Amino acid sequence: MKTSFYLLLPAVLLLGSCKKTTDKQAELAVQDFVRNRVSDAANYFPGKFRLKPYTKRDSLLYLAELAQINGTPAPPAPTAADTTRIGILVHHDYRDEMRDGEMIRDSGEYVVRPNGEVRLLMAESVRQKRLKQVQQQSSVGALR
């Protein structure tokens, strides 16, 4: 009996370790998402991934920044209860080789929902740059 237990234990451990972690699943989902949008899927070369939890609060703050950039009404302000995790924020760097052989480095920010759905976000660096432009335009308008 003990012998069969010791033979089954490695098999159970091996099968358990084959399950992909949530982070790895998020990386793979983003890879598929990007691969389907680059010039040629065969010329997509994934680079680094940086992952962190994405909460409802993060989503509301993101939407508030977009509303400010676009001059539209802002969503409701986040509350203390908005710390529920709704996905994983993935920063992904990659290379895309064009058909003419030119190599392009790019990156993106994505949210991977628990159901595997991937959403492309406007990069934080771009959002901050556009927010500064909006703020400068509004301060110039106020001086007139």
Q: For residue 104, what pLDDT band results from cuts at 50, 70 and 90?
A: confident
Q: What is the pLDDT of residue 137?
A: 84
Cβ-based neighbour number of residue 71 at 10 Å:
8
Lookup: tokens for 83: 């710390």
* Contact (Cβ atoms closer than 8 angstroms) between residue 127 and residue 69: yes
Full-model pTM: 0.77
Q: What is the pLDDT of residue 6?
A: 46
* Contact (Cβ atoms closer than 8 angstroms) between residue 76 and residue 106: no
Does residue 25 or residue 7 have the better pLDDT?
Answer: 25
Lookup: tokens for 7: 């033979």
Rounded to whole angstroms, the Cα distance separating 134 from 122 reads 16
Strand blocks (E) in 68-130: 85-97, 103-112, 118-121
Strand blocks (E) in the chain: 44-55, 85-97, 103-112, 118-121
Q: What is the pLDDT of residue 13?
A: 45
Instruction: Give tens-digit pLDDT for 24-48.
Output: 999 999 999 999 988 788 889 999 9
Q: For residue 100, what pLDDT band results from cuts at 50, 70 and 90?
A: confident
Q: What is the mean pLDDT of residues 17-28?
A: 81
Q: Which residue(s) pair with 104 in the sheet?
A: 96
Q: For residue 5, what pLDDT band results from cuts at 50, 70 and 90?
A: very low
- The answer, yes or no, to whether residue 17 has pLDDT greater than 90, is no
Q: What is the mean pLDDT of residues 63-81?
A: 92
Q: What is the pLDDT of residue 2?
A: 52
Q: For residue 62, what pLDDT band results from cuts at 50, 70 and 90?
A: very high
CA dihedral 45, 50, 53, 55 (to 10 degrees): -80
